[in-house]
Structure 1
Amino acid sequence: LRTLAGVMGNVLEWYDFAVFGFFSDIIGKVFFPKDQSEDLSVMESFAVFGGAFLMRPVGGLVIGYIGDTQGRKKALEISIFLMALATTLMGCLPTYQQIGNSAILLLLLVRMIQGLSVGGQLMSSLVFTLEGKPTNRWGLYGSFVMAGANVGTLLGGCIAYFLRWKLTEDQLMTWGWRIPFLSGILISFCGIYLKYVCTEDEDIAESTELDDPLELEIHRLPSNPLRLAFSQENRRSLLASAMVPLVWSGGFYISFVWLAIYMQDLIDPPVPAAFGVNSGSLLLLGIWFPLAGALSDKIGRRRVMTAGGIFFLVCGPILLLLIGYFGSRSAWIAFGAQTGLSLSLAMWGAPMCAWLVESFEPQARLTSVSIGYNVAQALGGGFSPFVATLLVDEVGIGAPGILLMTLATLSLIGLW
């Protein structure tokens, strides 16, 4: 039940968060002036998408502190209910045509609340799940948690593909874009389950069954986890935890959120069935994840992550070029290139989950992990789609590959 609660919370919360990216072209037309180019509208929409990531370190700090002082379950409940509220409000927002610039401000506000929520949710879910499992299987169970986030993103992509297939552009811009956001209320059921079914006593009982007695210290809550998180002996691990996720955060949003819009709107002619290609690649990513996580339990986190990081560094830019120059000729070419990206990201991202949790002592674990991971998300993930769109517009279709290489290099340095 503990694992199911963590994974399902991730699925629904990341569905809510990712839907914005998949509808960024429509949102750009609905919430910004119409007398501008489509590329500019997409960039403005991705800028708002990135703005939510600025709140993620704040969410990680606040909700992580709550998790270390009041319990992991409490932190997870708060983040889930915040996301349900923000996503439902997103589906009710008035458009630019209705209230002008005020619509942009409301859009930013709702996205900030979403960023605050998701900044605490993923790491709360990860720590909540792993601390109830044997440490020699953390790679596998950590991959389930992150795979849940990927499944949520996949679900958002499938909904986007279905609505674009069934509705006209006028219908999408009038009311169709609201549907996936209003369905975000479903996430509240996971919060209700956590609050009233999965009790704190059950959590403690499960954790006492661990083989490692040091893990029992999880429930001896510190008086000030923030002080411990930023202590001198913790700073090296904290810096590494902010560098290692860079390639995962930036690589994921470029490869599976931005790339869907890139194949649909920024390539002329577009890749056939671009959102279908993207959804298929996300499905494969979810399959690779448990395999890579289990492999890291056998041969070590660093070996698997290093192989994935080097592959992404060398081949990532080439695969993007392949999509840019030849994806329009065949959807299978684009699918094959995205599959390569998904495999390398799985080899990095799946072991990374356990690696992050193992890097810190239990007393300030959630605070430390949340700060490091969400700083990486703010720096490498949030504005990557915006920067990639700008690079394509100003330099050329091969330019985003430079961004991938930079992120991979920084993450490999942090790992070693």
Structure 2
Amino acid sequence: MRDRSSTEESAISVGRSTMARRAAIGSAVGSALEWLDFTAYGAVSATVLPRLFFPTLDANTAILASFATFGVGFCARPAGGIVFGLLGDRVGRKNVLLVTFALMGVSSMLIGLMPPYSSIGIWAPALIVLLRFVQGFALGGESTGAQLFAMEHAPAGRRGLYGSFVNMAAPASQVLANGMLVAISSVLDDRAFLQFGWRIPFLMSVLLILLGLYLRSRVSETPAFEALKARQVEVAGSAVGKPKVRVRDHWRTILRLLIFWGGPASCYYVVTVFSITFIVKHGLLSTRATFLCLMSASVVAVGTTILGGAATDRFGRKPPLIVASIVMLVTSCLYFRLLETGSVVLTIVAMSLFAGSIQAQSGILPSFFSEQFPTSARYAGSALAYTGANLLFASPTPFVAAWVTQRSEGSTAGVTAICVGLVSASLLALMISPETRFVDVDAPE
């Protein structure tokens, strides 16, 4: 009997380990594919969209208008986070993630098919704004859901590492998106790139949808959610799959996490979006060299994402977060001075330090956020904090940075001050947060 019991337990352990790896890989690949389209939009919003969809505006105003459409995606993310978060806490993580992936793919494909202003007039920017909203709505549910899906499947002592695989998607998408744009712009001349070359990453969404849906369909629902359903049937007699959501009871935690993530979220788009416009507009580097610098920094950021998540399984969540925050604070003071040298090497160093320190925190975020909430409010609570920070801080960043720089006649002192202020507030919110490394995410509520 003991041998049989031991064999059964071993089989269950192996099965869960296999499912955990599938969940981590499926979530990471799926998120990377979704972020690819979202990131590609950020790159073309700084270079292509002002000319194709806002040709009646002067150059400065067109850039501001293009960055405003970029921000629309972030405005939609809290709505997606709320809707899909509540659904994810009711019907499960897996079903919601299949819907968000399909929604992102369809909207991205339609962006790639969108005629320019010269063909359909005002409908072009209007439809771009609508599709950007849908992109953000889908990503609002996807970003948190994928993190939870990997983290809730992960072994207790490796939640930090497994969760970091998902947030590796953002820098990986920078490498893929900018790599594709560099390759396409190298093959095509400027006219051909403007006409159809920029559309290729978006049109590839058809293939990405099929791959993402296949990967996610092979993973079961998370053990934490299955345990929650079983407990509700046993204790309260409630309907299966209809958990009691108590998000309002955790508003202080949501607010604290929102402030914490505000600094990294905002600074990330200073590096990946505003920097492109700043460097190219001031003639510091060519467009191609700028994309290559950002790609190099993103490769570094992929590594620091995994490093951050792995470090938390050994040292706890807060110590690595504090170290990364301090590096980010120091870098924010020096960032634009390094860019203004016009040196490719120093630009790569600056972008790598900034993006690397941000992504080290991003690798820790899935475990750190999810461990602050019970299972029945984990999806919605984490989504509100994460997407709320992106709405309030990240979404206006490219627009505000461009406006402040224009108003100060090219000076970056104002943007630097904003970054330093946000990172300082983030560090303060982190210092007052509890350590959550040993929280049992499957514990009864």
Provide TM-score, normalisation by structure 1: 0.91
Letter in 2 for 1:346: Q
The alpha-carbon deviation at position 398 of structure 1 amounts to 3.1
In structure 1, the residue matched to 2:40 is 19
Match of 1:368 among 358, 378, 381: 381
> Residues 224 and 187 (structure 1 numbering): CA distance in 2 closer, same or farther, change over 3 Å?
farther
Instruction: Tell me if structure 1 keeps the 8 A contact 2:265–2:390.
Output: yes
Task: Verify the 8 A CA contact 2:301 2:360 in the aligned structure 1.
Answer: no
Matched, 1:87 2:108: yes
Q: Which letter does structure 1 place at the counterpart of 2:262?
A: L
Pick aligned residue for 2:227 from 207, 216, 231: 216
Whether contact under 8 Å (1:307, 1:347) holds in the other structure is no
Aligned length: 397
Q: Which residue of 2 aligns with 1:211?
A: none
CA contact (8 A) 1:80 1:187 kept: no
Partner of 1:230: 248
Residue 127 (structure 1) aligns with: 148
Q: CA deviation at 1:229?
A: 0.4
The answer for the alignment partner of 1:250 in structure 2 is 266
Matched residue SS, 1:359: coil
- 1:400 and 2:415 are equivalent in the alignment: yes
Q: Distance in 2 between matches of 1:181 and 1:347?
A: 28
For 1:150 and 1:333, locate their aligned partners in 2 and report how far apart those are by CA, in whole Å. 19
- 1:293-340 Cα distance to aligned partner (Å, 9 max, x none): 1111111111111111122123213122211x20x2x21110111121
Match of residue 344, structure 1, among 328, 343, 357? 357
1:182-331 matches, within 5 Å, as 182-193=203-214, 196-198=217-219, 202-203=220-221, 207=223, 216-217=227-228, 220=232, 221-225=241-245, 228-231=246-249, 234-263=250-279, 265-270=280-285, 273-323=289-339, 325-326=340-341, 328=342, 330-331=343-344
The structural deviation recorded for 1:266 is: 2.2
**In angstroms, what is the RMSD of aligned CA positions?**
1.9
Residue matched to 2:117? 96
- Contact 1:120–1:370 (CA under 8 A) maintained in structure 2: yes
What corresponds to 1:61 in structure 2? 82
Residues in 2 aligned to 1:168 and 1:389: alpha-carbon distance in whole angstroms: 28
Contiguous gaps of at least 5 residues in structure 1: 209-213
Question: How far off its partner does 1:215 sit?
Answer: 9.0
Structure 2 vs 1, CA of residues 350 and 215 (structure 1 numbering), >3 Å: closer, same or farther? farther
Asked if the contact 1:77/1:194 (under 8 Å) is kept, the reply is no
User: SS at 1:360's partner residue?
Assistant: coil
Check whether the contact 1:73–1:194 (CA below 8 A) recurs between aligned residues: no
Q: Which structure 2 residue ranges, 5 or more long, are not aligned?
A: 1-21, 233-240, 433-445
Report if aligned partners of 2:308, 2:363 keep a CA contact under 8 Å in 1: yes
Structure 1 letter corresponding to 2:247: A
Rounded to whole Å, the distance in 1 between the matches of 2:212 and 2:29 is 10
When residues 109 and 196 of structure 1 are mapped into structure 2, their CA distance, relative to the original with a 3 A threshold, is same
Please give the per-residue CA displacement for 1:163-197, whole angstroms capped at 9, x wherever unaligned.
22222221122111211111122231244315643
Higher Cα Rg: structure 1 or 2?
Answer: 2
| Deviations 1:135-167, CA, capped at 9 Å, x for gaps | 321111111110023212321111122222222
1:59-106 deviation per Cα after TM superposition (whole angstroms, max 9, x unaligned): 000111111111100110111000011000101111111111111111
Structure 2 Cα separation of the partners of residues 385 and 144 of structure 1: 27
Secondary structure, aligned partner of 1:203? coil
In structure 2, relative to structure 1, the CA distance for the partners of 1:35 and 1:191 (3 Å cut) is closer
In the alignment, is residue 410 of structure 1 matched against residue 425 of structure 2? yes
Partner residue in 1 for 2:186? 165
Percent identical across equivalent pairs? 26
Q: Within 1, Cα distance between the matches of 2:278 and 2:229?
A: 44
Question: What is the distance in 2 between the residues matched to 1:339 and 1:218?
Answer: 44
CA deviation after TM superposition for structure 1 residue 380, in Å: 1.3
Distance 2:383 2:252 in 1: 15
| Matching residue of 1:382 | 395
Secondary structure (helix, strand or coil) at the match of 1:399 reads helix
Q: C-alpha displacement at 1:52, in angstroms?
A: 1.2
